[in-house]
Amino acid sequence: MSKENFEQVCLHAYPRELVSFILERWKDPLFRERLVSIGIDPSAGLPDRSILENLISTCYQASLMREEERPVMFRLILRDHRLFLPDEGPPIGLHRLQFSGTRPFTEHELCRLAPAADFYRALIGVALDHKGEAQIWGMVHSGTRWMQPITGGTKTIPPLPWSPVIHVIGPGRISVSIGPEMVASLNGGQIGCPALDIFSAPWFAESFASTRSEIWEMHEAARSRAKKPWATLDPKFGRFIAQQVARRIVSLIRDSRHGGMLVYLPADTDRHISLKYQFREEEPRQRFRTLILRIMNTFAELHGESDNSAKVVGWQEYVTSRSEEIALLDEAIFDLAHFIAALSAVDGAVVMTKRQDLLGFGGVITGEDDEGEAITHALDAEGRLTRQELIEEVGTRHRAAYRLCREVHDALVVVVSQDGNARFVKWHEGSVTYWDLAPTGAPGF
């Protein structure tokens, strides 16, 4: 994506500009390469401009309405009902229900249907008739597992067809995807790229690389001492588990709507934070790391084979596992995520080390602000496309995060506002830099 395209983020935009942005992005070589890599044919993914403008404009108008004082929220998929298998359904499939007759595709009809098409569980089905005009044919029951990339989790996600999907998540807030692959969003008159996945960014992985190496060495040592053969784990397996838990923690803090701050510090640095509630240094404080290691060891042991100890297993085998041992460990680590997120309800920061030790909560970041300081807003996951902003434009919670990252270059801070917006802050390329956790279809995202 060119720098000029990203500068559209600064302008007020409406459905027509969003369509232009989508069509331009569809031509971008890097984006097309991404589509091909996940099995989408870029030449057959989007409808004509006029159709796309009608779909998005109508959804935009519906987003501005209210149904019995309720905000209008819904997901819509452009796909003929005959392309859905009639005998499938959640939790691992899609359940399509066709109306006895089509309904007009208007903002008023979408507004009326929105309460029945629960945002988290269903989509409104739309198709083009023989004249090329959009009509509502029914509903698609999806279940809630599609939210897992946002909220974290380890269940099999039902595949969403590679068809245009529009998410309406509030007044003037729309995102467009092809199946599960987000293309662009319109939020408060700003166009962005929701495909910005901070948790998968290289710098995020590098922030915890030493911890992963430590856990991997401990796992390999246990594997070498095992009396029976263990399967070989995919080297990325532990990273996937940790990512899902991190997603869950941030998601829970966002959903709470009270805001919060999560701080990751180098293991030997805490002098810049005063902790009101500090945990004693013992194994329970290290439980996150303990559970990751137990999951890795148990999973490798369960998949060991006497005639093939070189078998490699990873994330796909994990999400389809029916082992009671794995289920209990999985539940334990996500319960821990809920516990950590709940600590953010107390004023101050929840503080952890990058080794995943839970130091405490109610943390106050010390030091003084530099009122004239400029910070960097990263517009892509790698932090190559940026713009400068003044620190005085944000509140005290964000200023504290910037202050800490200016003093402790290895720190990583997640700041969540009361409105659910989340921001990742770290020292990057010689400057305090932040990434907004992009909207992905759920309220607050």
pLDDT tens-digit readout, 261-299: 999 998 766 678 999 999 999 999 999 999 999 999 999
Q: pTM, whole model, 2 decimals?
A: 0.72
Instruction: Give the Å distances, CA to CA, from 372 to 183, 377, 398.
Output: 36, 16, 15
Mean local confidence (pLDDT), 162-170: 91
Q: Which residues pair with 186 in a beta bridge?
A: 174, 191
Whether the per-residue pLDDT at 372 is higher than 60: the answer is: yes
Chain center to CA of 50 = 31
pLDDT tens-digit readout, 93-121: 899 999 999 999 999 999 999 999 999 88
Return d(Cα 147, Cα 252) in angstroms, integer: 13
* AA letter at 349: A
Domain boundaries, the chain: 3-195, 199-436
Cα atoms in the 13 Å half-sphere on the side-chain side of 27: 7
User: Which class would CATH give 199-436?
Assistant: alpha beta
Burial class (CB in 10 A: 0-12, 13-18, 19+), 116: exposed
Cα atoms in the 13 Å half-sphere on the side-chain side of 141: 12
The whole-number pLDDT of residue 344 equals 94
Return d(Cα 288, Cα 259) in angstroms, integer: 23
Choice among 192-196, 384-388, 433-437 with the minimum mean pLDDT = 192-196
Confidence of residue 360 (pLDDT cuts 50, 70, 90): very high
In the DSSP assignment, the letter for residue 98 is: E
- SS3 category, 92: coil
Q: Which helix (H) or strand (E) holds 424?
A: strand 422-428
pLDDT tens-digit readout, 116-154: 999 988 999 999 999 999 999 999 999 877 767 666 666
Higher pLDDT, 384 or 416: 416
Whether the per-residue pLDDT at 338 is higher than 60: the answer is: yes
